[in-house]
Amino acid sequence: MMRPSLRQPDQMRPVSMETGVNKWAEGSCLIKVGGTHVLCTASVDLNQPVWKRVQNKTGGWVTAEYSMLPRANGVRKGRETMMRDHRCAEISRLVGRALRSVVDMDVLGRHTITIDCDVIQADGGTRCASITGGYVAMVLAVRGLIAAGRISENPVRDYVAAVSAGLWNNELILDLDFDEDCAAETDANFVVAGDGRFVEIQATGEQHPFTPEQITRLMEMGAAGCQKLIALQKQILA
């Protein structure tokens, strides 16, 4: 059955990333994946998070918040109500884990980088777009720390991106949009590093269980899709 967007099963939506879209943030990227648009801003705190200081831990930290536009002004405003939304909290933790997986916290030093992923327009795959665009914003913020002499070495050890895949109308497809996501029999998200290793896999049989063969093929599709996104990240950050 033809996909609603007329794409081939393994065809991703058009993707673009624009940097420098927020003059206040230390790093920013507006990522557009088809109809999904996410503003990702990276804010640098020149100190460790409180919990690390209390526990006398070494190194810095990277964390994330997924919600709506907190960085509209010169100073980042917290989202006191975000944690009441369990979906936003779960996605925030996912984005943070994904980005931390490629950062050496000791090299980052006693700094905290907060990635805000603010969905401007949602059409499926917002968490994946947040990870992919959030990585670009994070790298730009790290470059600022190096330029300012705050750290002497790049703590970012690899690239990381994310894409969805799933079983829709009994067909395995890549990069689900909203219409496909709503009707998917199996819904999965894949976070993949630049060296091809998987950082995280989220997969759910929405309507019925899936087979090992199906998840293996979805992993292959997800890995290939992430490599395309990473190629674009490299181009944007060159």
Residue 74 has pLDDT above 90, yes or no: no
Whether the per-residue pLDDT at 57 is higher than 50: the answer is yes
For 41-94, give the DSSP string.
EEEEESS--HHHHHTT--S-EEEEEEES---SSSSPPP-TTGGGSHHHHHHHHH
Q: Pairing between strand 171-174 and 160-168?
A: antiparallel
Q: Are 62 and 141 in contact (CB under 8 A)?
A: no
In the chain, the domains with their CATH numbers are 15-237 (3.30.230.70)
Query: Which pLDDT belongs to residue 84?
Result: 60
pLDDT value at residue 70 = 52
Task: Give the mean pLDDT of 98-126.
Answer: 95
pLDDT in the model for residue 72: 42
**pLDDT tens-digit readout, 158-214:** 999 999 999 999 999 999 999 999 889 999 999 999 999 999 999 999 889 999 999
Question: How sure is the predictor about 64, in pLDDT bands with cuts at 50, 70 and 90?
Answer: very high
pLDDT at 194: 97
pTM of the entire predicted model = 0.92
Q: Is the pLDDT of residue 53 over 70?
A: yes
- Predicted confidence at residue 103, as pLDDT, reads 98
Residue-wise pLDDT for 210-235, tens only, equals: 999 999 999 999 999 999 999 999 99
Does pLDDT of 75 surpass 80?
no
Looking at residue 132, its pLDDT comes to 98
d(CA 31, CA 166) in angstroms, rounded, equals 22
Q: What is the pLDDT of residues 24-52, one digit of tens each?
A: 999 999 999 999 999 999 999 999 888 89
Task: With beta carbons less than 8 A apart as the criterion, state whether 44 and 75 touch.
Answer: no
pLDDT for res 160: 98
83 phi, psi to nearest 5 deg: -70, -10
To the nearest whole number, what is the mean pLDDT of the chain? 92
pLDDT of residue 164: 98
How many CA atoms lie within 13 Å of 124's alpha carbon, on the beta-carbon side?
22
Mean pLDDT for the stretch of residues 60-73: 76
Residue-wise burial string across 212-237, b where 16 or more C-beta atoms lie within 10 A, e elsewhere: eebbeebbebbbbbbeebbebbeebb
Residue 82 has pLDDT above 70, yes or no: no
